[in-house]
Amino acid sequence: MPETIKIAYLYEDLMNTYGDSGDVKILAFLLKEKGYDTQVDNISLGADFNAFDYDFVFWGGGQDFEQSVVAKDLVRHKDTIDKYINANKPMLCICGGYQFLGAYYETSGGETIKGLDILPFHTVFKADSRMIGDTEYETEWGKVRAFENHSGRTYFDDKSVLKPFGKMIEGYGNNPEEGNEGMRYKNTIGSYSHGPILKNENVARAIADKIVISHKERMAATAK
């Protein structure tokens, strides 16, 4: 029988804009090619969650209202997500999910939504300049083409800790000033790329490889 790779989808029912769930479907397809079954669990409001029960954690994007609802619940998971990220486990966070890893998100109404404050960055909403359209950027795994639609501008507070996921060729990415897309810290990626981003096979296969390694580590730890 094939082994089962476990994926945690954080707040799937609330944070799934612009086809973000397609990222998980693409990974399941690639993992099937490698001989694995895939189990995807929706970790939603009130659910118990231990990140180390999973081989991969995914977090999609959401609108301001959904993010304000999620913000009140997610603080329960800060410790397990923090430890998972710093254990070098693979995680992909898109748009709102990306923003939540930082210190805070300032909304269009001037409200400050606290993030998990795991990584040193913050996001500020700018109502007069929505960043929308096709994007293209260069990553360590090659070129990526995707779609962005956000008014949040993300800024790194400690550039010695965080690295951009990509360098912009077309589009805005994190903000209009710096020419960078997303964030990379250990094996955690944050990105504003919808479309979904993993339609870019080069990135999808690189992440799938990391998930397999994570699965083998989890199975080895379970066997002890």
The set of catalytic residues is 95, 194
Which amino acid, 4? Answer: T
Give me Rg for the CA atoms of the chain: 16
Q: Is 52 exposed, middle or buried (0-12, 13-18, 19+ CB in 10 A)?
A: middle
Strand residue runs (E) in the chain:
4-10, 37-43, 56-59, 91-94, 104-106, 112-114, 121-125, 131-139, 142-150, 152-156, 166-170, 180-181, 183-185, 188-191
Please state the length of the chain.
224
Q: C-alpha angle 36/47/78, rounded to 5°?
A: 90
Contact assessment for residue 207 and residue 27, using Cβ atoms and an 8 Å cutoff: yes
